[in-house]
């Protein structure tokens, strides 16, 4: 699923962001969740289209979007804020820490931990 | 007695006179002949001298000029028929042949060593540019500050241009383009080429085509398209766009690059076509100052990898239309996992979800949602309500908390890689 390493170098970030380094809005953290709105992908650049398509399945964090696209997170933020501006995606409030669900996720995390221990 | 002696003396004298007269006449004949012969020889000598002078003053300089590539016709002897009779013409021809051979071999040697040196130098520059690119990519991953990123983007852009120049020069002098790549969609190939030119913001990729270029041809096509884009951008006004269109054909795909600059005249087109065919390699001395390596390098690449490039049509904007035609053997299908065609999103998510089952690592629920979405023909938007949003949020929240604590524990580690260990492990499971 992760594209081969050398693929990264083909389209350089300055072309991806059209030379911009500063996101149009400063609302993104690495863990900010983004989700696609119901609109279509329209005439977007390939990277933006991939983001929208990725986020149609549910919320994703900025770090994950950057990882999937194999782009630096700071570059992904520029694209994401463009997409928020154009109404293709929206940010989602961070999840409340719900004590009722806590044990289930502790179990999940424990499973992850055990799995990792078993492997490493 | 006296009478007899007198007559005898007279007779002798008479005979002597006759003999003398005969001898004189003969002598005169001989002298005449010698004089004529002498005059003839002097004539031949003068002719040969003139021919030699003509050889040194006119013919050899003309030959030198022609060997240097100037359009000069080398003249023949002054009087071909007469000089042929003396046999000197063969000697002169031999001299000229020797001269030609000497000049040509000296030129070939010089060119060979210059090419070798340049190739080695360019390879060094190229590998430094590659190393630098890796360092820049690494910094782009680690730094989040827009100010730093702005600087990094500029450095990256300049480095990409530097790499391109070194690569094109190395290719022209017989090197391979290097950089093994996996197959890439044509659109990405063009955008990759755009990354490497100065005026990249003027390039507009307006149409789309869903084919990819096979791995071994990616770098050569990127390089060729980059040279053509650069050429288009440099020969048109800075405020005009350079437009790229694609045309899918029966035998391949055409990448068309239109500029709004000045058209080339027929002489320029002829020269460019010769260079682009890859037949006329040109030598270092003829590249000009500043050296124009673009078309020559494109020609070498096209001939070596089997695509064709032409610049003999006009663009709709009155400038030049460059067409790169990539034949079917260099094309492949677009890998759906890489290119997010709107129909394909479910696929990459479904696969890990099913794969996770046998392993000890549980998958995130987000993947399950995606699988649901892929199962539902109505698409992801319709599938979303099937799962309580709270569940999604809680799942993600847990992930988020995990990421945060992970970041706190290993400050400085790249959180962008948070998803990567999972996929690595998944890779191990598969094997």
pLDDT tens track for A40-65: 777 788 888 888 888 888 888 888 88
pLDDT digits (tens, 9 = 90+) for A91-112: 876 555 555 566 777 888 888 8
B116 Cβ under 8 Å from any chain A Cβ: no
Strands (E), B181-251: 184-185, 203-205, 211-213, 242-248
Supply the pLDDT for residue B375: 41
Supply the pLDDT for residue B356: 37
Query: In A, which residues are within 8 Å of B194 by CB distance?
Result: 15
Largest Cα span, chain B = 176
The CATH classification number of B176-333 equals: 3.30.565.10
Pairing of the two strands B211-213 and B252-258: unpaired
Q: Residue B430: which of B354, B365, B367 has the closest Cα?
A: B354
B405 exposure class (CB count in 10 Å sphere: 0-12, 13-18, 19+): exposed
Sign of CA dihedral B253, B259, B260, B265: negative
Q: pLDDT by residue for chain B (431 residues), tens digit each?
A: 778 899 999 999 999 999 999 999 999 999 999 999 999 999 989 988 998 999 999 999 999 898 887 888 888 888 888 888 888 888 888 999 999 999 999 988 988 888 888 888 888 998 899 899 999 998 988 888 889 999 999 999 999 999 999 989 888 888 887 777 888 899 999 999 999 999 999 999 988 888 999 988 999 999 999 999 999 999 899 999 999 999 999 999 999 999 998 888 888 888 888 888 877 665 666 666 667 788 888 999 999 999 999 998 888 888 899 999 999 999 988 875 544 433 333 333 333 333 333 444 444 444 444 444 444 444 343 333 444 545 545 555 656 665 565 556 545 433 333 333 333 333 333 33
State residue B310 phi and psi, 5-degree precision.
Answer: -135, 150
Q: Do A12 and B381 touch (CB under 8 A)?
A: no
B16 Cβ under 8 Å from any chain A Cβ: no
Report the distance separating Cα B231 and Cα B213, nearest Å.
Answer: 23
Q: At what angle do helices A62-69 and A46-55 cross, to 10 degrees?
A: 130
Supply the pLDDT for residue B353: 37
pLDDT category at A69 given cuts 50, 70, 90 is confident
Residue A119 has its nearest CB partner, among B194, B379, B425, at: B425
Please give the ipTM for the structure prediction: 0.75
Cα dihedral B398, B401, B403, B409, rounded to 10, equals -140
B217 Cβ under 8 Å from any chain A Cβ: no
15-44 in A: which are within 8 Å (CB) of B?
A: 15, 17-19, 21-23, 30-31, 33, 38, 40-41
Distance from CA of B357 to the nearest CA of A (A): 13
Largest Cα span, chain A = 47
Supply the pLDDT for residue B271: 82
Q: What is the mean pLDDT of residues A64-89?
A: 89
First-to-last alpha carbon distance for chain A, in angstroms, is 22
Domain tally for chain A? Answer: 1
Q: Do A30 and B380 touch (CB under 8 A)?
A: no
Q: Residue A26's domain spans which residues?
A: 5-119
Report the distance separating Cα B418 and Cα B294, nearest Å.
Answer: 43
Q: Residue A66: which of B399, B348, B418 has the closest Cα?
A: B418
B144 Cβ under 8 Å from any chain A Cβ: yes
Supply the pLDDT for residue B282: 57
A115 Cβ under 8 Å from any chain B Cβ: yes
pTM of the model: 0.67
Supply the pLDDT for residue B394: 58
Q: Do A56 and B415 touch (CB under 8 A)?
A: no
At a CB cut-off of 8 Å and minimum separation 6, what does B393 contact? A59, A92, A95, A96
Supply the pLDDT for residue B159: 94
43-82 in A: which are within 8 Å (CB) of B?
A: 46, 49-50, 53-54, 56-61, 63-64, 66-68, 72-75
Report the distance separating Cα B431 and Cα B411, nearest Å.
Answer: 32
Task: Break chain B into its structural domains and give their ranges.
Answer: 11-86, 176-333, 345-403
* Cβ(B183)–Cβ(B223) below 8 Å: no
Q: Residue B297: which of B317, B318, B282 has the closest Cα?
A: B282
Q: Residue B351: which of A2, A40, A50 has the closest Cα?
A: A2
B157 Cβ under 8 Å from any chain A Cβ: yes
């Amino acid at each position: 699923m992760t594209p081969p390493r050398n693929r990264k170098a083909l389209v350089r970030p300055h072309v991806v962001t059209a030379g911009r380094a500063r996101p149009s809005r400063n609302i993104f953290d690495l863990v900010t969740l983004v989700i696609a709105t119901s609109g279509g992908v329209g005439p977007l650049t390939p990277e933006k289209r991939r983001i929208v398509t990725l986020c149609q399945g549910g919320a994703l964090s900025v770090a994950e979007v950057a990882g999937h696209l194999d782009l630096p997170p700071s570059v992904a933020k520029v694209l994401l804020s463009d997409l928020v501006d154009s109404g293709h995606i929206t940010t989602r409030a961070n999840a409340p820490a719900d004590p009722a669900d806590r044990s289930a996720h502790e179990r999940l995390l424990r499973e992850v931990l055990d799995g990792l221990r078993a492997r490493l | 007695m006296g009478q007899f002696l007198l007559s005898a003396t007279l007779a002798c004298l008479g005979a002597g006179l006759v003999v003398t007269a005969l001898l004189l006449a003969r002598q005169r004949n001989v002298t005449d002949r010698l004089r004529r012969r002498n005059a003839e020889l002097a004539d031949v000598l003068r002719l040969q001298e003139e021919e030699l002078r003509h050889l040194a003053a006119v013919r050899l300089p003309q030959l030198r000029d022609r060997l240097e590539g100037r359009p000069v016709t080398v003249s023949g002897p002054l009087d071909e028929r007469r000089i042929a009779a003396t046999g000197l013409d063969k000697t002169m021809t031999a001299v000229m042949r020797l001269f030609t051979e000497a000049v040509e071999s000296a030129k070939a040697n010089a060119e060979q060593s210059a090419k070798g040196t340049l190739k080695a130098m360019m390879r060094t520059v190229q590998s430094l540019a590659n190393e630098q690119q890796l360092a820049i990519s690494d910094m782009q991953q680690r730094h989040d500050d827009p100010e730093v990123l702005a600087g990094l983007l500029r450095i990256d852009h300049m480095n990409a241009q530097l790499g391109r120049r070194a690569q094109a020069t190395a290719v022209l002098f017989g090197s391979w383009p290097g950089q093994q790549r996996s197959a890439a969609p044509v659109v990405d190939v063009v955008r990759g080429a755009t990354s490497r030119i100065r005026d990249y913001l003027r390039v507009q990729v307006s149409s789309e085509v869903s084919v990819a270029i096979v791995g071994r041809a990616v770098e050569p096509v990127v390089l060729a398209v980059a040279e053509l884009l650069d050429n288009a951008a440099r020969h048109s006004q800075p405020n005009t766009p350079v437009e790229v269109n694609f045309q899918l054909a029966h035998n391949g795909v055409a990448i068309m690059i239109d500029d709004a600059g000045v058209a080339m005249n027929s002489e320029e087109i002829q020269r460019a076509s010769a260079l682009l065919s890859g037949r006329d390699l040109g030598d270092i001395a003829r590249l000009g100052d500043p050296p124009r390596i673009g078309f020559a390098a494109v020609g070498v690449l096209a001939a070596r990898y089997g695509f064709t490039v032409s610049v003999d049509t006009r663009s709709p904007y009155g400038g030049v239309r460059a067409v790169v035609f990539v034949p079917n053997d260099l094309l492949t299908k677009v890998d759906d996992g890489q290119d997010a065609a709107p129909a394909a999103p479910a696929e990459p998510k479904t696969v890990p979800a099913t794969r996770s089952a046998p392993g000890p690592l549980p998958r995130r629920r987000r993947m399950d949602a995606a699988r649901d979405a892929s199962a539902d023909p109505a698409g992801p938007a319709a599938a979303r309500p099937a799962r309580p949003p709270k569940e999604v949020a809680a799942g993600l929240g847990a992930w988020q908390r995990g990421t945060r604590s992970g970041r706190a524990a290993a400050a400085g580690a790249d959180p962008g890689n948070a998803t990567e260990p999972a996929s690595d492990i998944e890779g191990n499971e598969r094997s």
